[in-house]
Amino acid sequence: MTTTTSRELAIETRGLRKAYGGKAVLGGVDLAVPQGSVYALLGPNGAGKTTVVKILSTLTSADGGEIRVGGHDLAAEPQAVRGAIGVTGQFSAVDGLITGEENMLLMADLHHLPKQEGRRAAAALLERFGLAEAAKKPAATYSGGMKRRLDIAMTLVGGPRIIFLDEPTTGLDPRSRHTMWGVIRELVSGGVTVFLTTQYLEEADELADRIAVLNDGRIAAEGSAEELKRLIPGGHVRLRFSDPDAYRAAATALREVSRDDEALALQIPSDGTQRELRSILDWLDSTGVEADELTVHTPDLDDVFFALTGGTDKTEETVR
Ligand SMILES: Nc1ncnc2c1ncn2[C@@H]1O[C@H](COP(=O)(O)OP(=O)(O)OP(=O)(O)O)[C@@H](O)[C@H]1O
């Protein structure tokens, strides 16, 4: 494993704190986001994900902590940070009254691109995001997925090295969500760092190189999806039988199993490693018991999420 130096980090925070009206939202958040990776910030409603994005993208100030984005100290050089980043929030920057192309050209103007270069960049990005055909239509006529893609394309006009995506697929149907995942993967393959917030565990699992789970204003756990899944128990091997005698013989012989008498299935706690599987198979062979089906179950991110966040919804909690 290589160690990541702060030079290779796109985003780094230490002890990031923020309170609203005396109520602490972030109570000391440490983040280290490697360059050129997808980093997902996961957390229940109201955990403070959007607040983190707003602070890192200079839209809101922090109350304390050290923050570096794109190699710049955010407190000392906010302008340099702004030059390195692009932000796509939950509320789109797309103007529905003008066409997709006009939205893009507006962004090119904002970034002071020369006219011709702006046109070229806009056309290339519209093509890349599958919007070339719809480019001359008012953005108000676009589907939710198209608007989201246009939003990201607009963010890219300035050539940011770090992109913040706040809940990029909320409200999209499964097909549009998959398209968006493709877009995000492509961004990263081009060397961009993507910092995204999501409530969809599947999305974090699918996309992110590293995941941080935000809970109670702190990072409850951080790592790759695989590392997080290993943090919590719940992995098991399931043996299913069709012959009741074989089932009973196996249940008696195997000690630490949970039984499902109705389904004629046994669950053996296991980390799913090759060594453990082999010993289970060896044991079955040696006793002459034959299972009809053997399946390996590892905890999924849902299990991790519930274990780490206590399954609470912070928004509802404050309402109660
Ligand atoms: N401008 C503000 N003024 C006061 N309180 C705020 C403000 N912005 C956010 N909060 C509060 O801070 C907490 C965290 O909000 P935030 O939007 O960062 O959470 P989140 O994790 O993004 O939630 P969600 O998943 O619902 O979008 C919430 O309790 C919210 O009510």
ipTM of the complex: 0.96
Q: Give 153's contacts (C-beta < 8 A, 6+ positions apart).
A: 104, 125, 126, 128, 129, 131
Of 50, 52, 87, the residue with max ligand 1 atoms within 8 A of its CB, to mutate for a pocket test, comes to 50
CA of 198 to the centre of ligand 1 (A): 14
Which of 225-228's residues contact partners 24+ apart within 8 Å by CB, and which partners?
225/301, 228/301, 228/304
Structural domain spans, the chain: 6-94+142-230, 233-298
Q: What is the pLDDT of residue 2?
A: 47
Percent residues over pLDDT 70 in the chain? 93
Residue 255 has pLDDT above 80, yes or no: no
CA of 42 to the centre of ligand 1 (A): 14
Most confident of 98-107, 248-257, 310-319: 98-107
CA of 157 to the centre of ligand 1 (A): 29
Half-sphere exposure of 319 (CA within 13 A, CB side): 7
CA of 89 to the centre of ligand 1 (A): 14
- What are phi and psi for residue 144, nearest 5 degrees? -55, -45
What is the residue-averaged pLDDT of the chain? Answer: 87
What pTM value is reported for the model? 0.78
Q: Which two tokens stand for residue 313?
A: 């919804």
Q: What is the pLDDT of residue 21?
A: 92
**Does the CB atom of residue 224 touch ligand 1 within 6 A?**
no
What integer is the mean pLDDT of 165-179? Answer: 87
**6-94+142-230 CATH:** 3.40.50.300
Q: Which residue has the higher pLDDT, 98 or 274?
A: 98
Residue nearest to atom 2 of ligand 1 (CA): 20
Q: What is the pLDDT of residue 227?
A: 86
User: pLDDT per residue over 22-37, tens digit each?
Assistant: 899 999 999 999 999 9
At the topology level, CATH places domain 233-298 in Alpha-Beta Plaits (3.30.70)
Q: What is the pLDDT of residue 102?
A: 96
User: pLDDT per residue over 115-138, tens digit each?
Assistant: 999 999 999 999 988 899 999 999
Residue 235 has pLDDT above 50, yes or no: yes
**Does the CB atom of residue 170 touch ligand 1 within 6 A?**
no
Confidence class for position 173, pLDDT limits 50, 70, 90: confident
Residue 200 has pLDDT above 80, yes or no: yes
For residue 43, give the ligand 1 atom closest to its CA: 21
Least confident of 3-7, 66-70, 118-122: 3-7
Confidence class for position 20, pLDDT limits 50, 70, 90: very high
Query: What is the rounded distance in angstroms from the CA atom of residue 100 to the CA atom of residue 134?
Result: 7
Confidence class for position 316, pLDDT limits 50, 70, 90: very low
Q: What is the pLDDT of residue 314?
A: 40
Residue 60 has pLDDT above 60, yes or no: yes
Residue nearest to atom 31 of ligand 1 (CA): 46
Of 51, 55, 199, 219, the residue with max ligand 1 atoms within 8 A of its CB, to mutate for a pocket test, comes to 51
What integer is the mean pLDDT of 272-280? Answer: 83
From first CA to last CA, the distance across the chain in angstroms is 46
What Å distances lie between residue 11 and 6, 261, 303, CA to CA? 9, 52, 28
Q: Which residue has the higher pLDDT, 3 or 146?
A: 146
Q: What is the pLDDT of residue 46?
A: 87
Residue nearest to atom 29 of ligand 1 (CA): 46
User: pLDDT per residue over 208-227, tens digit each?
Assistant: 999 999 998 999 999 998 88
